Amino acid sequence: MRRGSGRPEGAPDEAPRAAATTRSGTPIKAVYGPEDVRQPPPPPGTFPFTRGIYPDGYLGKVWTMRQYAGFGTPAQTNERFRYLLGAGQTGLSLALDLPTQLGLDSDSPEAAGEVGKVGVAVDSLADMETIFETIPLDRVSTSMTINATAPILLAMYEAAARKQGVASERIAGTVQNDLLKEFGSRGAWIYPIDPSMRLGVDLIEDTLERLPRFHPISIASHYRDAGATPAEEMAYTLSAGIAYTKALLARGLDPDRFGRSLSFFFYTYANFFEEVAKYRAGRRIWAAHMQAIGATDPRAQQLRAACVCGGHSLTRAEPLNNLARLTIEAFAVACGGLQSVFTAAWDEAFAIPTEASSRTSLRIQQILALETEVAKTVDPLGGSYFVEALTDDMEAAIRKVMETIEARGGMVEVLRSGWLQTQIGRRAYEWQRGVESGAIPVVGVNVHRSEGEEAVEQQELSKDAEEKKVAELRRLRAGRDGAAAEGALRRLRDEARGEQNLMPPIREAVFAYATTGEIAKTLEEAFGSYRPPSRF
């Protein structure tokens, strides 16, 4: 066992002299010069958008500060949302509990002990109405981290807006609706891969027409938090994006139309320059792909992205150090030119954040936006010999991984075979071994560490949330028009066996106050359930 605050054996000195690499293995030279810049990138807002998708960067509008919140009951979530809007937050992000994500009602036996734990439980339209009570849905935008049950939750959100008198075309936000990364890394799947893709694409197709201000998918990079390197993260996520564009083209949809509605979600850790280069390179590759499939509208070629700062980069040891990491990470995102940022809380390795810790995380972004110059000029690192060269190197590294995936049949096939899951698991294992050998320094964990664990104040979750939720659900089932709900579910079952878009029958079931669990189960009867490959 290592003890004390000295450096671990094998760890580099404070100022490493030997040739370094980024975390994805890209070599970093000691000194960069003009000879390392292949070609200066074109101005911001022009193809291939290396320097950002807008000509005026954050000058017109600073990035959206969107903190993930939602826990316990719908009423508690409503209270937290109103607090965050009052504190100056500019968009809402709804966290849902695991039963809701997996299509289980709060009174399902499998849900016992998990109701309201990692997010709020939404059993029916009634819960959605409570969550957004007195919050005008034509004036806020809401991001929902929901995938397998995204069609149900989006239908509920739209219905809740209608009940406020807000027309569907006025609501704005994003549903994650990215099933591929659930199979690859996040694990919240229900149905097999093919019907999952169908449902996801049904949602996109329906939304393009009916909810023009809504992003119907956020192609997400949870592969990173499961172990992938930054280059692999971008490669896997863009490969998933390519799989979705293929499916949309197969439905005869216009790339100039759907290209404007696709959005992405990434992880940002404290490897500052590599993250900046990752985003610049990713925009280039995506723009080229969209152009290749026929998109000519620049908006349809742009990689619009949100991100989370935190995740696996945060440590349980000396948790206040995480504030430093989060600051570096948010700074990297701002230099990388993303559209929306969620800074996790420093205490997330312990529990759901407290009100104070989530406020401090929001403050990190506000300090960056208002007290530094990062939002006052576009792409402030553009032209740096190092950053431009690293962007080129990252682009090459990302493309190489994408080519491997294409050669194996594309993203859907590498997930079906389990190849991708195994790759990610291997990287996670390599990382852990690197941390334990000292080859990968993590301050406070394997280098400069102090003894003992610091006491951390933890957010108390109300113990009776589950009981309350179950009681509410029973009241709802008793009070609704049972025949209407049953009729809507029957129609959904019939249509799921055909090929029509399933959004209209799902909306109908939601309006009849059919529950999340009832709708999900009806679809499962038609689709069956997924069985993951068991190798690791």
Partner 1 sequence: MPLRSTPHRYVPRVLIAKPGLDGHERGARVIASALRDAGMEVIYTGLRSTIPTIAAAAVQEGVDVVGLSILSGAHLSICEKLRDQLDEMDAHDLPVVVGGVIPMADWPLLASLGVRRVFGPESPLEEVVEFIEWLVEPKAFTAPGDGPTAEHHP
Which of 114, 123, 379, 395 lies at the binding interface for partner 1 (CB under 8 A)? 114
C-beta of 241: minimal distance to partner 1 in Å? 21
C-beta of 459: minimal distance to partner 1 in Å? 12
* Cβ–Cβ under 8 Å, residues 95 and 506: no
Q: Which is nearer to partner 1, 187 or 298 (CB)?
A: 187
Q: Which is nearer to partner 1, 186 or 280 (CB)?
A: 186
Q: Is 60 in the site for partner 1 (CB under 8 A)?
A: no
- Determine how β-strand 262-268 pairs with β-strand 217-220: parallel
Q: Which is nearer to partner 1, 157 or 183 (CB)?
A: 183
Which of 79, 436, 457, 464 lies at the binding interface for partner 1 (CB under 8 A)? 436
Q: Which is nearer to partner 1, 66 or 449 (CB)?
A: 449
Which of 37, 65, 98, 503 lies at the binding interface for partner 1 (CB under 8 A)? 98
C-beta of 458: minimal distance to partner 1 in Å? 8
CB atoms closer than 10 angstroms to residue 158? 25
CA dist., res. 265 & res. 234, Å (int): 10
Which of 102, 345, 470, 473 lies at the binding interface for partner 1 (CB under 8 A)? 102
Buried b (16+ CB within 10 A) or exposed e, 510-520: bbbbbbbbbbb
Site for partner 1 in 139-198 (CB under 8 A): 182, 186-188
C-beta of 331: minimal distance to partner 1 in Å? 26
- Terminal-to-terminal C-alpha distance of the chain: 28
Which of 87, 118, 293, 526 lies at the binding interface for partner 1 (CB under 8 A)? 118
Show the tokens assigned to 101.
């994500």
Which of 163, 213, 257, 316 lies at the binding interface for partner 1 (CB under 8 A)? 316
Tell me, by CB under 8 A, how many residues bind partner 1.
Answer: 38
CA 493-495-496 angle, to 5 degrees, is 65
Show the tokens assigned to 62.
């600073």
Annotate each residue in 220-249 with x if it binds partner 1 (CB under 8 A) or - if it does not, as one string.
-----xxx----------------------
* Cβ–Cβ under 8 Å, residues 155 and 216: no
User: Is residue 388 classed exposed, middle or buried when 0-12, 13-18 and 19+ CB atoms within 10 A define those classes?
Assistant: buried
Q: Which is nearer to partner 1, 412 or 424 (CB)?
A: 424
C-beta of 309: minimal distance to partner 1 in Å? 18
Q: Which is nearer to partner 1, 379 or 466 (CB)?
A: 466
Give the residues across from 443 on adjacent strands. Answer: 447
Buried b (16+ CB within 10 A) or exposed e, 201-224: bbbbbbbbeebeebbbbbbbbbbb
Give 152-204 as a 3 state SS string: HHHHHHHHHHHHCCCCHHHCEEEECCCCHHHHHHHCCCCCCHHHHHHHHHHHH
Q: Which is nearer to partner 1, 102 or 512 (CB)?
A: 102
Which of 312, 359, 416, 491 lies at the binding interface for partner 1 (CB under 8 A)? 312
Q: Which is nearer to partner 1, 45 or 192 (CB)?
A: 192
Task: Spell out where 294-371 has E strands.
Answer: 305-309, 340-343
* Cβ–Cβ under 8 Å, residues 489 and 502: no
Q: Which is nearer to partner 1, 436 or 481 (CB)?
A: 436
Positions in the binding site for partner 1 (CB under 8 A): 1, 98-99, 101-102, 104, 110-114, 117-118, 182, 186-188, 225-227, 312, 315-317, 349-350, 425-426, 428-429, 432-433, 436, 445, 453, 532, 534, 536
